Amino acid sequence: MKTSSGENEFIDNYNIHNYNPPLTTVDLVIFTIIDNKLKTLVAKRSEYPAKSKWALPGGIIKTELDDNIDAAAIRILKEKTGVTSPYIEQLQTIGNKNRDPRCWSLTVIYFALIPFDSITPVAGRSVTDIKWLEAEDHNQQLAFDHNLILENAVTRLKSKVEYTALPLHLLPKEFTLTEFQQVFETILGHSVDKSAFRRRIREAKIIEEVKGKMRYGSNRPAKLFKAIDTDTLHYFSRNMGISRNM
């Protein structure tokens, strides 16, 4: 795109700091399933503001590294967890003058789904400790407005699980049909009719049997399955039904 000499001169002399831009960050709600409970990763801050408080992982957008917002989210997720999530989705953007005592602050929020067996999070810079928090533990007071962010992320996840195969991204590479159903039930907070669930999954053609492999336990051996395509999110034709309260 050609620009005039006047425009080039204007751009060369332009200083964004003349306009006091907001602090711009990415915050991540990282979900996993541990012992049939929905968990999210939180970190204890080592620096002010909110020193020693638990917070969602996040970081400042670095214009010299990040080509766009998605790239910033993927970079920060990798820095905080050491892995790339099989599923990451932009949730919302929040910005106002009150959410951060340092200055006017804007954050772009993502949620990510990671199988528990694929992640060993390590406390990085500006963090003294990390832990997996029950995602719906309303007794844990998080820094800034992170309780609200977490609540919004849980609501979005529950809503999408009603009509998509998102739980595939929380499973190990090989799993049983019972384990697949349990992830749905853990997120939704209610049980799902077994026969209807299996019919829905069979019709969707999103998983395939791992030939020659079984899961052995106290009950009879169970067949193992794997996802056919984790790059494409499958949408069911109707929502998951409730069979009874858990």
pLDDT tens, residue order, the chain (246 aa): 566 888 988 888 888 888 889 999 999 999 999 999 999 999 999 999 999 999 999 999 999 999 999 999 999 988 877 778 889 999 999 999 999 999 999 999 999 999 988 777 766 677 888 899 999 998 999 999 999 999 999 999 999 999 999 999 999 999 999 999 999 999 999 999 999 999 999 999 999 999 989 888 777 889 999 999 988 899 998 887 655 444
Let me know if residue 9 belongs to a domain. no
Q: What is the pLDDT of residue 214?
A: 87
> Hey, what are 21's tokens?
């831009």
Q: Are 98 and 201 in a shared domain? A: no
Q: Are 149 and 166 in a shared domain? A: no
**Of 143, 160, 177, which residue sits at a domain end?**
160
How many domains does one find in the chain? 2
**Of 160, 187, 215, which residue sits at a domain end?**
160
Q: Are 106 and 225 in a shared domain? A: no
Q: What is the pLDDT of residue 185?
A: 96
Q: Are 155 and 178 in a shared domain? A: no
Q: Are 131 and 37 in a shared domain? A: yes
Q: Are 87 and 44 in a shared domain? A: yes
Distance CA 162, CA 184 (A): 8
> CATH number of the domain that 138 lies in?
3.90.79.10
Q: Are 29 and 120 in a shared domain? A: yes
Q: Are 110 and 36 in a shared domain? A: yes
- What are the CA-CA distances from residue 165 to residues 26, 160, 177 (Å)? 26, 8, 13
Let me know if residue 178 belongs to a domain. yes
Q: Are 145 and 223 in a shared domain? A: no
Number of Cβ within 10 Å of residue 59's Cβ equals 20
Which domain range does residue 208 map to?
162-245
Q: Are 131 and 193 in a shared domain? A: no
Let me know if residue 39 belongs to a domain. yes
**Of 140, 160, 180, which residue sits at a domain end?**
160
Q: What is the pLDDT of residue 67?
A: 96
Q: Are 75 and 171 in a shared domain? A: no
Q: Are 25 and 147 in a shared domain? A: yes
